[in-house]
Chains A and B, each alone.
Chain A
Amino acid sequence: MTGLARTPIDDVTLRLADTAAWLTTPLMPEDYLTLINPLWSSRELRGRVEAVHPETKDVASLVIRPGRSWSTHRAGQFIRVGVDIDGVRHWRTYSLSSAPERGDGRVTITVKSVPGGVVSTHLVHRTTPGTIVGLTRPEGGFVLPEPVPSRLLFVTAGSGITPVMAMLRSLARPGEMPDVIVLHSAPTREEVIFGPELRTLAGRFPHLLLHEQHTRSSGRLNLSQLPDLCPDWPERHVWACGPTGMLREAETYWREAGIADRLRMEHFRPAVTTSAAGGGGHVRFLVSGREADADGATPLLVVGENAGVLMPSGCRMGICYRCTGRLRSGRVRDLRTGREYGEEGELIQTCVSAADGNVEIEL
């Protein structure tokens, strides 16, 4: 609960729970109370899916009511969602697509089901209202500053629109809108996530300019078109979210213009190269006492999870450092770069590191 002030009511609740724990030891009172309502848990933040709205044929928005210890997010932030599939809990990161000012105590995430994606497919096609999911509190620095700049530019592609949608919804709340340009790419008009809502917003606010790039018919958006689409681009604060290739291009473009500090980016997927795979080996998880054989292409995080270790995890793409574990022996390989690394005692990111030979890790 970082940054949140504890209220006197919280203090009383805590003291009550401490006292009641004498009656429930070795369990906690909430181990009984959560059987009545799973959202009452204070140890584990949970949410109840209250509705699932299809957005396009493979995208759906899940309306979630978070439990007590939720803290209000800032538009653009992400959360981690834990969902039980075939009895096994899986965690994934999703941007919140609802505005923090929504006001009904509910939030939404918008998920695109990717081919072969166990979790995304489950969330989009097989999740029903009433499902309980694990949640983490919102985090991430891909947000609007206070005060909001007067001229903004959003460059998005595919499901990269989700955090930007939260920002647009938030910006639209007061009934007026700063000068905003949205350059969004999607394969077709039908596949534009939030297409109708974006178009409605653009119709309502004269200062909101929406450019849809339908890549199947018109090809990919080339940044050389930028001066035409948005002549004052160097003066705008930019938020970009989409596939790695697009972000890399944007980074280069703004860096070469000497205004890299105007560009904020949100990555969605790690850039893992299969050629980065190492040799694999036997992995010993020292704290949990588990062991497993790992190939050179599977992240140690996945190896541990499959071996039944309660692995700490986060973004699963090498940016949040929540999954780190201390290496006791052996070498690992960074699946993004292929670089072999790892000294004894070094904290390694298990979500993007695979075994390169036998490995011992303190997890």
Chain B
Amino acid sequence: MAKLSISDLAQIKQRASSTFQLRSGQEPVDIKGHKHLLICGGTGCHAAGSQTVRDALRDEIAAKGLADRVSVVETGCNGFCAMGPVMVVYPEGTFYVNLETKHVPQLVQEHLIEGQPVEKLLFKDPKSKQFIPLMMEIPFFANQQLIALRNRGLIDAESIDEYIARDGYTGLAKALGEMTPDDIIEEVKTSGLRGRGGAGFPTGLKWQFCQKTPGQEKFVLCNADEGDPGAFMDRSILEADPHSVVEGMTIAAKAIGANAGYVYCRAEYPLAVNRLQLAIDQAREYGLLGQDILGTGFSFDLSIYQGAGAFVCGEETALMRSIEGKRGMPRPRPPFPAVAGLWNKPTVLNNVETWANVPQIITKGGAWYASIGTETSKGTKVFALTGHVNNIGLVEVPMGTPLKTIIYDIGGGMPKKHRKFKAVQLGGPSGGCVPAEHIDLPCDYEEIAKVGAIMGSGGMIVMDDSTCMVDMARFFMDFVQEESCGKCTPCREGTRRMLQILEKITEGNGEDGDIETLEELAEMIKESALCGLGQTGPNPVLSTLRYFRDEYEAHIYDKKCPAKGCAALLEFQVDPDKCKKCGLCAKNCPVQAITWQKKEVAVIHRDKCIECKTCLENCKFDAIY
């Protein structure tokens, strides 16, 4: 393939225009009657068997002689992972969920031949119990606004032509062909884009610092070391739209004067690494990476660096140490990476989601981006909505969208009727819990910080009232402790001590004064730790203490776990007043430690009980204590 020029991009786009008319719901004349089946090929759907469904569909379509007008396209992560494998049929936009190979013959016969959607495979709204055939009428999708995720489920993630057809590399062409480095930085500053990795530093300003630092050699890095448990937007973007990251990084390279870049990606994301590598190879082949990009004389190339399993490497200075092949330990700042980063050269580092926004900002203008969002937080944010919520998946909404809209309108509320919404955890191990009383909170950087959490990378874990907040704090402290690199004492020793106290409390051995010690340690670690990991590590404890202090006190003084989460504080007895004699506990007990007969209260035999809590999970009447 010859290297492309700017006009070649327009031609590729022209060639594919009817494809995308079809996928936007129109019926283009030249391919009238054609159908595109876009089946999700993200990690979640792969785990659910989407590849075998894809192959079965292709076989069945060929067998029925439909291959000339029906094509099956594997997309990247669609973001609605819990319902996987999911598939959209265009031009209608019919959305199918939980597909299995056994459904394929019926689907091909009824939908593709007879034109009737298969009702039982459609999405069923958990609230109204109605089937919703069209993707854009499903509240989960209808209430989102896509910028970073704009190509999800819509393009073949492994086709550069499809990316180009969706205005891909238009931003790059504009940046290289029409703009000076100062123009690019000005545009990004106008957009108000802030770092989506967590800290929210203004992206344009960061680039400007690096641009102004003199140096022959500079680097552009992408942080794809998505380590926050419960966040998966970076994985999704790399799997569904890897070119958007390549394009964003190349634009920044032009702005700061860099000729080389790295994507530091977790080794836990094999599919993302493969798709990104493919994207880099394709971009090189088209001359969109390498020497003399688009014939403009500018040169830039990218390579992937795979992490080896260390959460702290998400911290920028640690990440750079890791690329240098060393133990990934942070160093004090300043100097900041914009001045002395990778191999001590000026370096710009942004995370995947930030990069994915950049091409759109250049194409459509900073003012357009700044028109979305709130006063201080512009644009959209992708949240990974998980936990105790009906619709689990990736949600992209304008900054400032209330929590309530995300959890109830998009997320569909709590899945278990007898459970109430208790809190939502934002920002992972660096963040905090936002309790039910703040459900109307608008999600932007400042508002979230006011209630004691952080935006972080956008992990949003919904918890119902079966979640013990002390155990949650212990979980995060265990995480931080395990991942502490050991370089500075406050983080290495302080988090260990905090973890020991939390373990003691959840095991029923809490003492008077424990809460105060936790608070004292937390403040000290926050003030004195070397890097962001330690400085924010105590946040989950502080925020649960702020809103759920009574739960800590119940553990310590009454030796009770109000949420019934801590096994050591449970008696494993059945309350005869609450027991409805349904027998579900006995049926589900894995070690047959519960005896039950019709119309009688169940009895748990402690000598056999292994305290696994399966009975508590199955009891709908809260009768086991």
Q: Check if A and B associate.
A: no
